[in-house]
A = this chain, B = another copy of it.
Amino acid sequence: MPLTIEKKCIEKGVKLTDQRKIIAKVMSESNDHPNVDELYNRVSKIDSKISIATVYRTVKLFEESGILAKHDFKGGKARYEELNEGHHDHLIDVKTGEIIEFVDNEIEELQKKVAEKYGYELVDHKLELYGVKKKS
């Protein structure tokens, strides 16, 4: 079975180069939210000739094609993750940087309502919670 990302590329008419296949594979297998540097490192282990410029170009392309989601969490570098059906938001441990994904439909609904209240249709949103682990 081909990777979901590859399937999406074909659907969107995105040319499937070797480099893109590798980046797709690495992203599919990543359960975290790598930034471009991290992604570049992982990709380099498979093909050391891939340049970081290609990684930047590819994540941008994948983002525009709805294949990856880009996040600008606090701390500078953009982070990416594969975009699946299930939308989710993030809870970030401010001490360790650990990222927990969560879904809360109640909040989602309320967001739509807020946008509507101001005469807007919600097209996107970003919700990040920053917390510290409680003892015990």
Q: Which residues of A contact B (CB under 8 A)?
A: 72, 74, 91, 93-94, 100, 102, 104, 106-107, 110-111, 114-134
Closest 10 CB pairs of A and B: A120-B131, A124-B130, A126-B128, A115-B131, A125-B129, A122-B131, A107-B110, A127-B127, A72-B72, A115-B129
DSSP majority for the A interface? strand
Give min CB distance, A115 to chain B, whole Å.
5
Q: For the complex, give the distance between the alpha carbons of A52 and B51 in Å.
A: 34
Give min CB distance, A4 to chain B, whole Å.
25
Give min CB distance, A124 to chain B, whole Å.
4
Chain B's closest residue to A103 (CB) is B114
Q: For the complex, give the distance between the alpha carbons of A93 and B122 in Å.
A: 9
Q: Note all chain B residues with C-beta closer than 8 A to A121.
A: 131-134
Q: For the complex, give the distance between the alpha carbons of A116 and B104 in Å.
A: 13
Q: For the complex, give the distance between the alpha carbons of A104 and B115 in Å.
A: 11
Given known pairs A72-B72, A114-B102, A129-B125, the reply for A120 and B134 (CB within 8 Å) is yes
Q: Note all chain B residues with C-beta closer than 8 A to A111.
A: 107, 127, 129
Q: For the complex, give the distance between the alpha carbons of A17 and B60 in Å.
A: 43
Pull 29 A–B residue pairs with CB atoms less than 8 Å apart, ordered by A.
Answer: A91-B114, A91-B115, A91-B118, A93-B120, A94-B124, A104-B110, A104-B114, A106-B110, A107-B110, A111-B127, A115-B129, A116-B134, A119-B133, A119-B134, A120-B129, A120-B131, A120-B132, A120-B133, A121-B131, A121-B132, A121-B133, A122-B130, A122-B131, A123-B131, A124-B129, A124-B130, A125-B128, A125-B129, A126-B127
